[in-house]
Chain A
Amino acid sequence: MWKVYKYTLLDLARNRFAIGYALLLLLVTVGLFMLEADNTKALISLTQVVLALIPLLALVFTIIYFYNQYEFTVLLAVQPMRRQSIIRAQFMAVSTALLLSFLFGVGLPVFAYAPGPIAWTLLLTSAALTLVFCALGMLIAVRQRDRAKAVGIGLATWVFMVLVYDSLLLWLMFSFSDRPIEPVIVPLAALDPIDLARILIMLKIDLAALLGYTGAVYQQFFGSSGGMFVSLVALLLWIQVPAWAATRVFTRKDL
């Protein structure tokens, strides 16, 4: 597995899109810090941008890379090695490349301008999001034979998670604002990894007050170490489950 990982990563290191992704993130991050004098405000804007951008690019990049590698994947599958090793190596190589791009593009400037616990939370949750959407992209790519369809499903997934689900939650909160629905909202938020990441970062920035009563409940739940632990487990599950499903589909499918 490590052999395939090593060479796939070597291939990705010279991949134009991976390099472009790193430069785009760098441009956005440095730009935001230069435009905004208050570093905490810049971090808030950055959070919004990063939480939307990372899932989109991780999904699309993973799907496209997987299809571009398809013939080579077939050639690997003909070698005396297990299919599990192939897909695991590819998953790890693509996520390593995306994580390195992210650390270079966002990690470096964030630690230069605004180091601290907020920066750490932003980096860790975004890194987890990268892995989540890399795993989801892999799952979509192994299930679909048609590349255009796969990219379409990827985009739909992204729009749903970044926009639709969030709006539904907000609508739910406003419609039932006179009733105690917080215990329902908290687990519902965990069903969308982007929401989960957003809440974690917002709480760290101490914007919970702005979120009103619900925010207070969130803080009570997520802010306590137990809540942090639960949300971390939820994010890890968001990586594990799609990755496991993608491996299962790939090992059984006809290539």
Chain B
Amino acid sequence: MVIPFIERLNLMDRIAFEDLGKQYGKQWALQGVNARFPEGEVVMVIGPNGSGKTTLIKCLLGLVKPTTGSMHVNGMPVSNDPAYRVSIGYMPQLAEFPRELTVDQLLRMMNDIRDAKTSDTDDRLIKLLNVEALLAKRVGTLSGGMRQRVSAVLAFRYRPNILVLDEPTAGLDPVSAAIVLDAVVRAKHEGATVLITSHIMEEVQRLGDRVAYLQDGHLRFSLPPGAITDVTGEAALATALPKYLAQLPQLHVESL
């Protein structure tokens, strides 16, 4: 299988996967993933359910130990040393925090863990997402959407140069979703690389500098959305993607 690469010299790779694979029991959730994502790029990670998106993200975050291959983050190999995660901000699909803490205490706790001074943090989202109004509330009293807003604040707060957002807009109201996506664009212009999983093709096309498509644990392609629409002659990625997939060679999944 040929994986198209767009080599961009001069730009540093924020994230590099080399032959990354993860096996659960007999099943390979991820196999032979090679990819490089340079700085200042928004990468939309898409694919059917169970295609390995979450596993890929979890490998990067250090939550899952890969079975094969290696990863580099900001040019440094990822080892057991947790220090590399200083540069990563993460917004999970579903955020849960200790129920009896107030939002203010939660933010302080994260500052403490990160050894961050208040002057180092990026608090723009606290204002924009109106998390100020939630500061005195206990986490247990917040609705799901409110927790997602807090979660978004935490992801951006420490000015990470790698952002990992797992379906960031799924649990948010439309206005908050737009604010978070604006923040993504801003972070990108500031040089961050952003990995986003999404099922919303309009979002993928509008935001993505690159679409990474996973299927049965294999990275089928990693291309700019424009390349896919150009090849198929469709204007919308939502209609272009099935056409593009149809003309790709069949994937031979080795079964054990």
Query: How distant is the Cα of A255 from the Cα of B65 in the complex, in angstroms?
Result: 9
Question: A7 contacts which chain B residues (CB < 8 A)?
Answer: 98, 101, 105-106, 109, 112
Whether A255 and B92, one on each chain, are in contact in the complex, defined by CB atoms closer than 8 angstroms, is: no
Whether A14 and B100, one on each chain, are in contact in the complex, defined by CB atoms closer than 8 angstroms, is: yes
Whether A3 and B109, one on each chain, are in contact in the complex, defined by CB atoms closer than 8 angstroms, is: yes
Minimum CB–CB distance from B164 to chain A (whole Å) comes to: 8
Query: How distant is the Cα of A78 from the Cα of B101 in the complex, in angstroms?
Result: 20
Q: B181 within 8 Å of A by Cβ?
A: no
Query: How distant is the Cα of A144 from the Cα of B92 in the complex, in angstroms?
Result: 22
Q: From known contacts A7-B101, A7-B105, infer whether A80 and B114 are also in contact, taking CB-CB under 8 Å.
A: yes
Whether A79 and B100, one on each chain, are in contact in the complex, defined by CB atoms closer than 8 angstroms, is: no
User: What are 29 A-B pairs at a CB distance below 8 A?
Assistant: A3-B112, A7-B101, A10-B101, A10-B105, A11-B98, A11-B99, A11-B101, A12-B100, A15-B100, A68-B99, A70-B96, A71-B94, A71-B95, A72-B96, A72-B97, A75-B90, A75-B92, A75-B97, A77-B61, A77-B62, A78-B63, A78-B90, A80-B83, A80-B85, A254-B24, A254-B58, A254-B65, A255-B58, A255-B63
Q: B136 within 8 Å of A by Cβ?
A: no
Q: Interface of chain A, helix or strand or loop or mixed? A: helix
Q: Which residue of B lies closest to A12 (CB)?
A: B100
B21-37 with Cβ < 8 A to chain A: 24
Q: From known contacts A254-B58, A254-B63, A255-B58, infer whether A78 and B98 are also in contact, taking CB-CB under 8 Å.
A: no
Whether A71 and B96, one on each chain, are in contact in the complex, defined by CB atoms closer than 8 angstroms, is: yes
Place the interface of chain B in its size category.
20 to 34
Q: What residues make up the interface of B, taking CB atoms closer than 8 Å to A?
A: 24, 58, 61-65, 82-86, 88, 90, 92, 94-101, 105-106, 109-110, 112-114, 154
Contact of A74 among B63, B82, B84, B101 (CB under 8 A): B63
Place the interface of chain A in its size category.
20 to 34
Q: A216 within 8 Å of B by Cβ?
A: no
Question: B109 contacts which chain A residues (CB < 8 A)?
Answer: 3-4, 7
A155-208 with Cβ < 8 A to chain B: none
Query: How distant is the Cα of A77 from the Cα of B61 in the complex, in angstroms?
Result: 8
Query: How distant is the Cα of A68 from the Cα of B114 in the complex, in angstroms?
Result: 23
Minimum CB–CB distance from A91 to chain B (whole Å) comes to: 16
Q: What residues make up the interface of A, taking CB atoms closer than 8 Å to B?
A: 3-4, 6-8, 10-15, 68-72, 74-83, 252, 254-255
Query: How distant is the Cα of A9 from the Cα of B154 in the complex, in angstroms?
Result: 21
Minimum CB–CB distance from B137 to chain A (whole Å) comes to: 13
Whether B85 and A79, one on each chain, are in contact in the complex, defined by CB atoms closer than 8 angstroms, is: yes
- Beyond the given pairs A13-B100, A78-B61, 10 more chain A to chain B contacts, judged by CB atoms under 8 angstroms and listed by A's residue number, are A6-B112, A7-B98, A71-B96, A75-B92, A77-B61, A79-B82, A79-B85, A80-B86, A254-B58, A254-B65
Minimum CB–CB distance from B93 to chain A (whole Å) comes to: 10
Minimum CB–CB distance from B8 to chain A (whole Å) comes to: 28
Minimum CB–CB distance from A83 to chain B (whole Å) comes to: 8
Query: How distant is the Cα of A78 from the Cα of B155 in the complex, in angstroms?
Result: 11
Question: B95 contacts which chain A residues (CB < 8 A)?
Answer: 71, 75
Q: Which residue of B lies closest to A8 (CB)?
A: B98
Question: B83 contacts which chain A residues (CB < 8 A)?
Answer: 80
Question: B97 contacts which chain A residues (CB < 8 A)?
Answer: 72, 75
Question: A82 contacts which chain B residues (CB < 8 A)?
Answer: 82
Query: How distant is the Cα of A69 from the Cα of B65 in the complex, in angstroms?
Result: 21
Whether A4 and B113, one on each chain, are in contact in the complex, defined by CB atoms closer than 8 angstroms, is: yes
Query: How distant is the Cα of A11 from the Cα of B85 in the complex, in angstroms?
Result: 25
Question: A79 contacts which chain B residues (CB < 8 A)?
Answer: 82, 85, 110, 113-114
Q: Which 4 A-B pairs have the closest CB atoms?
A: A71-B96, A11-B98, A14-B100, A3-B112
